[in-house]
């Protein structure tokens, strides 16, 4: 029987993040339980209903309660009782800031946290522009808590050698970094040779 793991994303799940869905649904030894604070307001992917948990549906999350949960993990016992029913073996958060939000939850559940860094979460700094648009009003908390995330996460996954170098430069211990490239199923993208194509360059 497969072990359950929590796949954490603040909002579930933007249509642009098919790479998360494809990765999770390709797991052979684990079953991914999608967990997020809310549904994305953008065009979203269709996730397996029986394996999707919106925390705001389990307990009422006002703006204040949502901030408290993100920063401290403090929430109604009902929320953690519900999550424990799935007996998760670990939490895998995608993107650095989601790792910061997932860390208190992992601590409450007493399970390891793994964080995948895809790009901007480790290449930006506090002086970068449009951070509120990217991360929301709590963006400063991400930079305050990033070193704590490096300290307490079990592993930090880098999707390339460049991201690995950025993690090291920002203070992540080298022994915690694993490079794992994101691939695609090339059988789903085989060309149709019978179609006549014009020599057009975009």
Reported as a single tens digit per residue, the pLDDT across 118-175 is 998 898 877 766 677 766 778 788 889 999 999 999 999 999 999 999 999 999 999 9
Q: What is the pLDDT of residue 17?
A: 93
Q: What is the pLDDT of residue 25?
A: 94
Strand order in the sheet with 155-158: 52-54, 30-36, 3-8, 91-94, 113-117, 155-158, 177-179
Please state the rounded mean pLDDT for residues 23-47.
Answer: 93
What are the structural domain ranges in the chain? Answer: 3-189
Reported as a single tens digit per residue, the pLDDT across 53-99 is 999 999 988 888 988 999 999 999 999 999 999 999 999 999 999 99
Please state the rounded mean pLDDT for residues 37-43.
Answer: 89
Check: pTM over 0.85? Answer yes or no.
yes
Q: What are the residues facing 53 on neighbouring strands?
A: 35
For residue 199 the two structure tokens come to 């020599």
CATH architecture of the domain covering 3-189: 3-Layer(aba) Sandwich (3.40)
In angstroms, the CA 48 to CA 30 distance is 15
Helices assigned H by DSSP within 26-169 = 55-58, 63-72, 77-84, 96-109, 120-123, 131-135, 139-152, 161-169
In angstroms, the CA 47 to CA 96 distance is 22
């Amino acid at each position: 029987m497969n072990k359950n793991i929590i796949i954490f994303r603040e909002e579930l799940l933007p249509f642009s993040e098919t790479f998360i869905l494809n990765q999770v649904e390709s797991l052979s030894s684990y079953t991914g339980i999608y967990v997020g604070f809310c549904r994305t307001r953008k065009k979203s992917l269709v996730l397996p209903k029986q394996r999707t948990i919106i925390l705001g549906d389990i307990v009422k999350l006002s703006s204040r309660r949502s901030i408290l949960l993100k920063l401290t993990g403090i929430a109604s016992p009902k929320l953690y009782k519900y999550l424990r029913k799935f007996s998760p073996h670990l939490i895998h958060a995608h993107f650095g800031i989601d790792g910061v939000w997932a860390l208190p939850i992992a601590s409450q559940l007493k399970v390891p946290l793994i964080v995948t860094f895809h790009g901007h979460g480790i290449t930006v700094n506090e002086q970068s522009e449009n951070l509120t648009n990217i991360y929301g009003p709590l963006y400063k908390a991400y930079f305050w808590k990033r070193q704590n995330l490096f300290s307490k996460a079990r592993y930090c996954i880098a999707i390339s050698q460049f991201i690995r170098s950025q993690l090291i430069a920002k203070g992540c211990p080298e022994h915690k970094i694993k490079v794992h490239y994101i691939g695609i199923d090339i059988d789903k993208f085989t060309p149709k040779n019978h179609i006549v194509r014009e020599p057009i360059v975009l």
